[in-house]
Amino acid sequence: MRARRMLSLFAAATCFAATVVAGVTTGSGSAAAQPGCPSLYVVAIPGTWETSDNPDKRPVPGMLAAVTNGLPRNVRTDYVVYAATAFPWEGDIYSRSKGEAVSRARGMVAAMGGACPGTRIALLGFSQGADAAGDLAAEIGTGIGVVPPNRVAAVGLLSDPRRSPTDALVGPPVGGAGAGGPRIGGFGLVSPQTRTFCAPGDLYCSTASDDYFFRIAGFLAQLSDPSPANVWRYAQEAGVIAGDLLAGGGIGLLQQQFNDQSNQQREQQLRNFYRSGVHSDYRNFAVERNGTSATQWLHNWLIDLS
């Protein structure tokens, strides 16, 4: 009799443990959205010049509108308003502008996470917005975020300046990595929920590994408003660039890439890049054989998750 009772207790405990593990592993759990709460909360961060925190400058519809327009009623979408500038003469320099976007998006996620425990979170970003959304996703995925990783249902990044070759890419293969260098530590526990999109020829997300002009320029942009809390990260990222440079030829290679002829070639490369419009054409960039574009793919993905 005692043995039978022990077996019953063991079976109940095993069942309970399996249920808990299943909830943690899938990231979905059994919690449903509470009354008045969306089932999915989408935080969308526009790209450079697509929005502004200047009250005299009216934001224009950005790239992500093609993703968020027409989502089901049980999905709530909020756009992050931030400086969205890149150069000192515009106001905020790039790193400070991006930091503002991360901070505001973090606050929005925290507010929804606290008010609606059953609501799942999706993070979207384009260009500078993808840089910010990816950094916030990495915070959450590595356990230092404002919500646990299993609350994140999706992370969609269009032309992420910090794209890593190991990130889950949707669409045709591209070489190199983001101009700002991959995130140290990656996305952690939200890696399975993260998808990145990079059109061939988009220099923001596909800088060649041996192009030290763009790699150094991207690193300096990330470093333009340094935070003491991130000194360790800056040191690691600089070390990666320095290590690759030494392995590839050292100072001699750097001199070759910064001579007059190389500078002229680079100037022409940049002209061709901006004229091509590839960076601003993700609404028409096909990522599947049936012609589905990057923005359509993300739109459909959010519908499936809702």
| Pairing status of strand 152-158 against strand 75-79 | unpaired
pLDDT (0 to 100) of residue 241: 73
Predicted confidence (pLDDT) at residue 222 exceeds the cutoff of 60 = yes
Predicted confidence (pLDDT) at residue 279 exceeds the cutoff of 80 = yes
**Residue 21 binned pLDDT confidence (cut-offs 50, 70, 90):** very low
pLDDT (0 to 100) of residue 93: 84
pLDDT (0 to 100) of residue 24: 34
30-205+277-305 CATH pick, 3.40.50.970, 1.10.3720.10, 3.40.50.1820, 3.40.640.10: 3.40.50.1820
DSSP the chain: -HHHHHHHHHHHHHHHHHHHHHHHHHS--SPPPPTTS-SEEEEEE--TTS--S-TTS-----TTHHHHTT--TTEEEEEPP-----SGGGSS-HHHHHHHHHHHHHHHHHHHHHH-TT-EEEEEEETHHHHHHHHHHHHHHTT-SSS-GGGEEEEEEES-TT--TTS-B-SS---SB-TT-PPTTTTGGGGGGEEEE--TT-TTT-B-TT-HHHHHHHHHHHTSS--GGGHHHHHHHHHHHHHHHHHHTTHHHHHHHTSHHHHHHHHHHHHHHHHHTGGG-TTT-B-STT--BHHHHHHHHHHHH-
Q: Among 6-20, 122-136, 169-183, which stretch is predicted with the lowest mean pLDDT?
A: 6-20
Mean predicted confidence (pLDDT) in 112-138:
97
Predicted confidence (pLDDT) at residue 90 exceeds the cutoff of 80 = no
pTM greater than 0.85 (yes/no):
no
Between residues 121 and 53, which one has the greater pLDDT? Answer: 121
Q: Among 149-153, 157-161, 208-212, which stretch is predicted with the lowest mean pLDDT?
A: 208-212
Mean predicted confidence (pLDDT) in 275-288:
94
What percentage of residues in the chain have a pLDDT greater than 70? 78
User: What's the CA gap between 180 and 207, in Å, rounded?
Assistant: 9
pLDDT (0 to 100) of residue 14: 35
Residue extents of the structural domains in the chain: 30-205+277-305
